Amino acid sequence: MTDTTRKTLVVSGVMALVGSIVGLVLGLFMVNNLSDYLTQSVAVSESALGAVEETLGVLESVSVEVDEGIGAAAASITAASDAVLTASGEFDDVADFLDGELQASIETLLDTMPAAIQTAEVIDGTLNALSFLGVDYDPEQPFDASLIAAQDALEAIPPQLTAQAEAIRALVPVSEQFAEDAAATAGAFDALRVELESSQTLIDSYRATLDQAQSVVESTSSSLSATTWLLRLIVVLMAVTGSAIAVGLITLGRSREPLVSEGFDEATDG
């Protein structure tokens, strides 16, 4: 082996040794940085998933509360609509009674009032005549005057009954419109509850996806440490292998023993 070859082997070995050491340092540095980055990424992912989990919980709670409130409101509106429809059917009967049977009865009573007033005058005159014979009769208001006052009061009732009947009949279209609007509102609430059920289904699908993502993150987090140590081991093994090769080259370059090829050349020359 020539001196030049030996020097080349030594230089190559030294460079390989230095490269192995530098590679070891840089490799471990890169692995540590990668491990820190992945650890932070996993932590951020876990935080984000936790925030999404809380948001889904809030949305689910709000959805349930809104659904319960809408269900109660729809039930109340439906009950009110049914009650108004029932009352609306009775409004006409009440109006017919007021300006029908009741008014006819009062008018019949008014027709009999003149005869009753005349009879009251006779009775009142008779009792006044008997008072001279010792009959105690001294009313604050004569009998016929009382009937006349009653007649005047009765004559004012039929127009009032007619006005009340008209007012009650005017309530019928209003109540029917209210019942129709209430039914439409209850229908809208039912449709909204259907939408809320759809959103609940969507929330459930999000939650299933979120559970899968959390499982992946947890699995990644648990395997990250083992993967990091495996990468470090690979870097160390590569450095040790490079160092062993470098030491072999240096040792071979410093060796003074002739190579087999040199001995063969000398034999050939001889």
Q: Which tokens is 248 given? A: 């072999």
pLDDT score of 147: 80
* Domain span holding position 106: 3-269
Domain tally, the chain = 1
Q: Cα 261–267–270 angle (5° rounding)?
A: 145
pLDDT score of 136: 61
For residue 97, the one-letter residue type is F
Q: Which residues of the chain have pLDDT under 50?
A: 259-270
Count Cβ atoms within 10 A of the Cβ of residue 95 and give its class: 0-12 exposed, 13-18 middle, 19 or more buried: buried
Report d(CA 229, CA 220) in Å as an integer: 14
Q: Using a CB cutoff of 8 Å and minimum separation of 24, what contacts does 248-252 make?
A: 248/13, 249/9, 249/10, 249/12, 249/13, 249/16, 250/9, 250/10, 250/13, 250/14, 250/17, 251/13, 252/9, 252/13
CATH for 40? 1.10.287
Predicted TM-score of the model (pTM): 0.42
- Give me Rg for the CA atoms of the chain: 56
Report d(CA 167, CA 101) in Å as an integer: 17
pLDDT score of 266: 44
